[in-house]
Structure 1
Amino acid sequence: MGLSIRNVSKRYANGVQALQNVTLSIPPGMYGLLGPNGAGKSTLMRTLATLQEPDEGQLFLGDIDVVNQKEAVRQTLGYLPQEFGVYPKASAEELLDYFAVLKGLTNRALRKETTEALLKQTNLWDKRKQKLGGFSGGMKQRFGVAVALLGNPRLLIVDEPTAGLDPAERVRFLNLLSELGENSVVILSTHIVADVAELCTNMAIINQGQILLEAEPLEAVAALKGRIWRKLTDKHTLPALEQEHQIISAKLLSGRTLVHVYSPDRPGSGFEPVEPDLEDVYFGAMTGCFDAFSQQPQAESIAR
C-alpha cells in the first residue's frame, strides 16, 4: 500500500504559497523528503497527517482519501512532529500507557504487552520508570517514535527527527528508524542530507513548495558520475569562478574554499574529478543545474 499525492497546493492566509502542485508517488519503505527550512516539508507533513487541508489536489493512502476520510487515515497513522510536548513528571511507561488508551487499546493485558514491546523496540525499557523531564533529546525522540508506533500504523511520518541530536543519539535514532520501513510507508522529512543518504531507498527534493527532483538516491548519485569537479581556491576568486562555471557548492576547508562544479567536461585547469554523493545531487537540484542535466540520457531515471 503506497501513498499517492496529486497536484497538491496550499496557500496560507498571509499569502505564503507553501505548496505548489506537488505530485509524488511514495511506495512502502523509507522515503526521504529533503529540503531547506521553509521549503514546505512541514506543510506537506501536516496535510498528510490530516491537521490541515490542501487548497487543491488529492491525497490517497492506498484506497483511503486522506482529505475526505480523515478518521480512517488517523486509525492507521503514526506522526512524530518536529516539536512535541511531554508531561515531565510522568514516567515513560505511564505516559505511553496513557497514549495507548487514547489510541483505543482498552484491554489492560494487551496494552501492557504493547507498551512493553515498544519500549524495548525503542531501547527505553531500562528507562521506563524515569521521569520524561530527565530524558535527553534523543531519548525524547525515541519515546515519540514509540507513541507514533501505537496501533501498527501503515503510514509513519517523522518531521525533522534528528535536528539538535548529538552524534551518538543521532546514530541510535537512525538505527531505530531503519527497522521501521519494512511493512509501512515511512516518510522522513529533513534538511540533513546524510539522514536520507543513510536510510532512504526513495526521495524527493523540495524547495519553495515545489518538487525539484524525485529519485532513488543511488541512481541519482550514479547519474552524476564524471560530471562533478572540485577545486581548492581562495575566497576572493570565488566570484570570478561563479561567473565562469556552474558551482553547486562551496565550503571552507583548512581556511580555503573548496568548490564543487557541475560540468560534463573538465571545466578548466586546477579542477579534479570527484566521486559524487547525495550532497552533490541536493545542491545541484537547488542551484538548478538539473534543468540542463535532465536533458541527458543518463539522467532520465532521476529527472521525473
Structure 2
Amino acid sequence: MGNHPFGLTIRNVSKRYANGVQALNNISLDIPPGMYGLLGPNGAGKSTLMRTLATLQEPDEGQLFLGDLDVVNQKEAVRQTLGYLPQEFGVYPKASAEELLDYFAVLKGITNRTLRRATTEALLKQTNLWDKRKQKLGGYSGGMRQRFGVAVALLGNPRLLIVDEPTAGLDPAERVRFLNLLSELGENSVVILSTHIVEDVAELCTNMAIINKGQILLEAQPLAAVAALKGRIWRKLTDKNALPALEREHQVISAKLLSGRTMVRVYSPERPGNGFEPVEPDLEDAYFSTMTGCFGQTSQQQKAEGIVL
C-alpha cells in the first residue's frame, strides 16, 4: 500500500499513560482511502489511536501522516480536514439540528451564509434528518443523534473521518440505517470505523486490522482473512460440562449457547474427529482465531502465500 497521497501512514507509534498502561505498543499501519475497520475488544487501544489521529493527544514516539500532512506537527492543518465522531459526544438538547449544525459550520470556517445554508441542508438530507431539522436534539433517538454526529463530522468535506464505536446501543433498524450512511462516505476519504462489533466490519470495510493490548495482531482484507480459514473451522454441538475437556484437546475459538446446549467452533487444519463437522468460516472466526493466537501462527506463512495483505 505504501504512502498513498490521500491515505494514512502510521509508523512505530507508542503511547503509555501516566498510570503505567501501555495503550499502544509500536503500531504501524497503512490505511488507504475507503472504509477501514479497526476491530478489537474494549481496552485494546482503539480509542487511544483514534484520539491520537484526531490530534487530541500526542504519541510518546512514532509518526503519523495523512497524505503529506504530519499529524503531530501540523495539527491545525490536519484539523481543517478532519471529521471525528467520538464514542460519547454531547449535544445541546434545547437546540434544533438545523441551528446546531449551522453553529458548527461557522466554527469550521464556513462564513458565507448562503454556502452555509446549502451545506447544512445537503448534510441533513444526506443523514436523513431533513424532516426532523426543527426538532430539538433532546428528543432525538440514539440513532438520530449518531447520524447528527456524522453530519457534524462531515462539515468541510474531511479527508479523514474517524468514527469510534458508532453502533453500540443502536437498535437493529437504526444500526442498518447508520451503516448504510457510512458506506456512502468512503469514496474519496479515509473512513476509520473503530468497533468491537465484528458484523460492522464484515458489512462495511474493504480493509481492516485487529488490535489487542495495544498491538496489531492482523492486517487483512476481511474477505481474504475469511478465505484463509477455509477448511480449518469445525463445529460441534455439545454439553456445557464437556467444554473444559474440549478446550484442553482442541483450539476452541468460540462457544455459544444454542437452545440449551453449547455450539463449539474450533480451529484445526485437519478434521478434529469425534462429531465435528466442517463449517464455512466467517469474519467472527477470523477475529476469534486471531485473538486466541491460532491465526497468528500461520499469518507469516499466509503473507508469504499472498493471502493476507
Query: What secondary structure does 1:181 align onto?
Result: coil
Inter-CA distance 297–159: structure 2 relative to 1 (3 Å threshold): closer
1:218, distance to aligned residue in structure 2 (A) = 0.3
Aligned length: 304
> Which among 225, 235, 239 is matched to residue 230 of structure 2?
225
Inter-CA distance 73–277: structure 2 relative to 1 (3 Å threshold): same
> Which among 215, 219, 229 is matched to residue 214 of structure 1?
219
What are the residue-to-residue correspondences of 1:102-251 with 2, within 5 Å? 102-251=107-256
1:113, distance to aligned residue in structure 2 (A) = 0.3
Deviations, residues 170-211 of structure 1 (Å, cap 9, x unaligned) = 000000000000010000000000000000000000000000
Which residue of 2 is the match for residue 10 of structure 1?
Answer: 15
Distance (whole Å) between structure 1 residues aligned to residue 103 and residue 213 of structure 2 = 39
Q: Is the Cα contact below 8 Å between 2:39 and 2:195 reproduced in 1?
A: yes
Distance (whole Å) between structure 1 residues aligned to residue 301 and residue 157 of structure 2 = 43
TM-score normalized by the length of structure 2? 0.97
Unaligned stretches of 5+ residues in structure 1: none
Which has the larger displacement, 159-168 or 292-301? 292-301
Query: What secondary structure does 2:83 align onto?
Result: strand
Query: What secondary structure does 1:280 align onto?
Result: helix
Distance (whole Å) between structure 2 residues aligned to residue 242 and residue 100 of structure 1 = 55
Distance (whole Å) between structure 2 residues aligned to residue 302 and residue 157 of structure 1 = 28
Alignment partner of 1:272 is 2:277? yes
Distance (whole Å) between structure 2 residues aligned to residue 284 and residue 299 of structure 1 = 19
1:302, distance to aligned residue in structure 2 (A) = 5.3
Distance (whole Å) between structure 2 residues aligned to residue 185 and residue 295 of structure 1 = 27
Deviations, residues 102-138 of structure 1 (Å, cap 9, x unaligned) = 0000000000000000000000000000000000000
Distance (whole Å) between structure 1 residues aligned to residue 175 and residue 101 of structure 2 = 22
Which residue of 2 is the match for residue 35 of structure 1?
Answer: 40
Which residue of 2 is the match for residue 100 of structure 1?
Answer: 105
Alignment partner of 1:68 is 2:73? yes
Unaligned stretches of 5+ residues in structure 2: 1-5
Deviations, residues 202-224 of structure 1 (Å, cap 9, x unaligned) = 00000000000000000110010
Query: What secondary structure does 2:94 align onto?
Result: coil
- Equivalent position amino acid for 2:61 in 1: E
Query: What secondary structure does 1:294 align onto?
Result: helix
Which residue of 2 is the match for residue 287 of structure 1?
Answer: 292
Which residue of 1 is the match for residue 3 of structure 2?
Answer: none
TM-score normalized by the length of structure 1? 0.98
Alignment partner of 1:52 is 2:62? no
1:299, distance to aligned residue in structure 2 (A) = 7.4
Query: What secondary structure does 1:264 align onto?
Result: coil
